[in-house]
Chains A and B, each alone.
Chain A
Amino acid sequence: KQEVTQIPAALSVPEGENLVLNCSFTDSAIYNLQWFRQDPGKGLTSLLLIQSSQREQTSGRLNASLDKSSGRSTLYIAASQPGDSATYLCAATYSNAGNMLTFGGGTRLMVKP
């Protein structure tokens, strides 16, 4: 069964800290991995997409990495700000399972001023 796991479920950090969010997946036949942000009561905002042939992607203060051999992806947020407070979700698509996303449970991030 293809599963995606995110640990921790919740994280609280002081403003300015660099932080890493973790995502693990059970099937190495991953096609791509996508990171999303979700604010309370809102839909999902796509942050970064990493194709299986890539090792990382960067956008502003965000950097996402992908290690297929270990079944892990990380989202690095530099110099965190209170506006970064949200739930962060990772989701994988698999080569042998169409293009639907399999989601992790999310990490709820709180950045304190």
Chain B
Amino acid sequence: GAGVSQSPSNKVTEKGKDVELRCDPISGHTALYWYRQSLGQGLEFLIYFQGNSAPDKSGLPSDRFSAERTGGSVSTLTIQRTQQEDSAVYLCASSRSYNEQFFGPGTRLTVL
């Protein structure tokens, strides 16, 4: 079956612009996660959605970052007023509740 998909695969933006990153999880997976992978910080958790519960936002680095998940499926991660330190690969994963997580190919964000 189809895996986790993310779009765009690459995004180049100018400092100060807003960006939106999209994630389509595996059908039937109730949990969706966003992670960020950067050279200096490795892989770090950003935000987690589980069913209809309030999301766990404990990993978001600043209030410029937000995410939503519509209809329990597709999720959008929004970064406002991008900064150069936001440059990283943003990875999305999904799972069936507390279970094995499957990752998408990621979106490489470059802030000039």
- Name A residues whose Cβ lies closer than 8 Å to a Cβ of B: 31-32, 34, 36, 42-46, 49, 89, 91, 93, 98-103, 105-106
Residue of A nearest to B35 (CB): A101
Could you tell me if A101 and B101 are in contact, using CB atoms closer than 8 angstroms?
A: yes
Q: Total contacts A to B, CB within 8 angstroms?
A: 54
Q: How many residues of B contact A (CB 8 A)?
A: 24
10 tightest Cβ-Cβ pairs between the two chains A and B:
A103-B43, A44-B103, A100-B45, A43-B105, A49-B100, A43-B103, A43-B106, A99-B98, A100-B48, A98-B56
Residues of chain A with a CB closer than 8 A to B33's CB: 99-101
Q: CB within 8 A of A93: which of B43, B91, B98, B102?
A: B98
The complex places the Cα of A2 from the Cα of B99 at a distance, in Å, of: 19
Could you tell me if A99 and B91 are in contact, using CB atoms closer than 8 angstroms?
A: no
Can you list 24 A-B contacts (CB < 8 A)?
Answer: A32-B98, A34-B101, A43-B91, A43-B106, A46-B102, A46-B103, A49-B100, A89-B43, A93-B98, A98-B48, A98-B56, A99-B33, A99-B50, A99-B98, A99-B101, A100-B45, A100-B48, A100-B56, A101-B43, A101-B45, A101-B93, A103-B42, A103-B44, A106-B42
The complex places the Cα of A36 from the Cα of B59 at a distance, in Å, of: 21
- Majority SS of interface residues in chain B? strand
Residues of chain B with a CB closer than 8 A to A43's CB: 91, 103-106
Residues of chain B with a CB closer than 8 A to A31's CB: 98
Distance from A53 Cβ to chain B, minimum over Cβ atoms (Å): 13
Distance from A32 Cβ to chain B, minimum over Cβ atoms (Å): 8
Q: CB within 8 A of B100: which of A34, A89, A98?
A: A34
| A-contacting residues, B14-60, CB 8 Å | 31, 33, 35, 42-45, 48, 50, 56, 59
- Contact A99:B48 (CB < 8 A) given known A43-B105, A46-B102, A49-B100: yes
